[in-house]
Structure 1
Amino acid sequence: MRAFAPGSVTAVFAPGETSDQSKGASVAIADGVIADVTPADGRDADEPAVTVEGDPTDFEPVELALRKLDVTARADLTAEVPIGRGFGASGAATLATAIAANAEFGLGHSREELVAVAHRAEVEAGTGLGDVFVQNRGGLVVGDGGEPRSFERDAPIEYVSFGPIATEEALADDDLMATIAREGTAALDALPDDPSLADLTGEAWAFAEAIDLPTDEVREAVEAVESAGGTASMAMVGETVFAVGVEGVLPNRTEVCPDGAELR
């Protein structure tokens, strides 16, 4: 059984005392991850097995989700976005796997239960705090996992990625996370009630600079977008720049995914 989950670009986030109290502003994008889940057999019969583009790999949140669902399965992942570069690929892979496994094995879980399984697996693995809530809904999502606000948006998004930033390391840095909590809350509070993607991206860049994450390459890409009349910022967490209001400035172009994860 196959399922797709959109990637997501987190523009701003603020960790809470618990993972369910974390909040942010993110956009689901049309490029995502497809999970093809089948029953495990042979050497894979005792443990979940995961491949990415056909290559066996350790993918902890996906493996945790399968264990939480109490199935021994093989999950073959096809990623349309770079993994580990701020596109929520681990969340998309985990959510798509949970949805596909539920259908493949006739588990009968509700959508809400599957999202909760994927979220807990991400948090336990240290690979994300709330990506799956965005990937479940689609569009522009602002708030926390409890009652986020969703907005339909259709502006094209351009992006470029220079490399990964280890999410696990960032989430484990107490001083950095304290700064992110303070600055992220301020950025989210500054958003208008009905934010455009340009509104969000502008606040996101102020947030990225306040927490001192942008590299020289990121700054140069943002300056190129601004020189062309657009707005750009840095994806959380990756050495990745996303932009709105330009055409042909950054090498990759996608769009907002209006719908959430689904069976394929």
Structure 2
Amino acid sequence: MRAFAPGSVTAVFAPAETADQSKGASVAIADGVVADVTPHDDPRADPLVTVDGERTDFDPVERALRKLDVPARADLIAKIPIGRGFGASGAATLAAVVAANAEFGLDRSREQLVELAHRAEVEAGTGLGDVFVQNRGGLVVGDGGDPRKYERETPIEYASFGPIATEEALADEDLMARVAREGSATIDALPDDLSLARLTRDSWQFARAIGLPTEAVRETVAEVESAGGVASMAMVGETVFAVGVEGVLDRRTEVCSEGAQLR
């Protein structure tokens, strides 16, 4: 059974009141991850995961499949870079549990599957809320409990230069203190009728305030601004996303208005 989950770009985030979640503003994108889940050849073995045909250790996906207690193999096809701020681990985990639920006839509710995928991400240290955005689609502001969703069709361009380890970023106390202060202020100031351009502009102020942008990111944002668009840095990766331009960055996608689904 195959399922797709969109990637997600987090523009700004801050710790939520619940310790294992974050609040923020993120957008689901049409580039994502497809999980093809089938029964494992050895029903007694741990879950087997491949990415683009290569066997790999993929901690949150393996954790989630073990929680479902099914002898599963998950073959992942990633249309987004892994570890570069596109929520790839969350997309892979959510797609895998949605596919496994159908493949093995588990009859779990959508809410149960999303919570299970979220828990697997938290335990693996790879994310604090991507799956909530990837479950809903669109532009989402808030936290896992009570988010606001906006329907936006804005095209998005992006370029990625390298990974930033999410586990290390979340464990950096000084960085997370800046994130808590600057992220909360930025989120609280977002208007009710939020555009993706406004979010991107505020996101860039946030990124600079917490001190994450590299030289490559700064130069690319300046290039987008010179072309008349707005750009910022994806949280957390050495990745630039932009709106209001065409053909400036390497890749072009669009907002995905729907969440994870069977294929």
- Counterpart in the other structure of 2:241: 242
- Counterpart in the other structure of 2:126: 127
- Counterpart in the other structure of 1:99: 98
Shift of 1:175: 1.4
| 2:211 maps to 1:212 | yes
* Stretches of 4+ aligned residues off by more than 4 angstroms: none
Shift of 1:16: 2.7
Sequence identity percentage: 78
- Counterpart in the other structure of 1:36: 36
Shift of 1:65: 0.4
Question: Partners in 2 of 1:84 and 1:129 — Cα distance?
Answer: 14
Could you report, residue by residue, the CA deviation over 1:77-118 in whole angstroms, capped at 9, with x for unpaired residues?
000000000000000000000000000000000000000000
- Counterpart in the other structure of 2:15: 15
- Counterpart in the other structure of 1:227: 226
Secondary structure of the equivalent of 2:26? strand
Contact 2:37 2:73 in 1 (8 A): yes
Aligned residues: 263
Normalised TM-score (structure 1)? 0.98
Normalised TM-score (structure 2)? 0.98
Contact 1:190 1:203 in 2 (8 A): no
The answer for unaligned runs of 5 or more in structure 1 is none
Question: Partners in 2 of 1:18 and 1:146 — Cα distance?
Answer: 10
- Counterpart in the other structure of 2:2: 2
The answer for unaligned runs of 5 or more in structure 2 is none
Contact 2:20 2:122 in 1 (8 A): no
Question: Partners in 1 of 2:108 and 2:50 — Cα distance?
Answer: 24
- Structure-to-structure mapping, 1:53-72, within 5 angstroms: 53-72=52-71
Secondary structure of the equivalent of 2:33? strand
Q: What is the alpha-carbon root mean square deviation over aligned residues?
A: 1.0
Contact 1:20 1:144 in 2 (8 A): no
Question: Partners in 1 of 2:129 and 2:71 — Cα distance?
Answer: 25
Secondary structure of the equivalent of 1:184? helix
Amino acid at match of 2:35: A
Shift of 1:19: 4.1
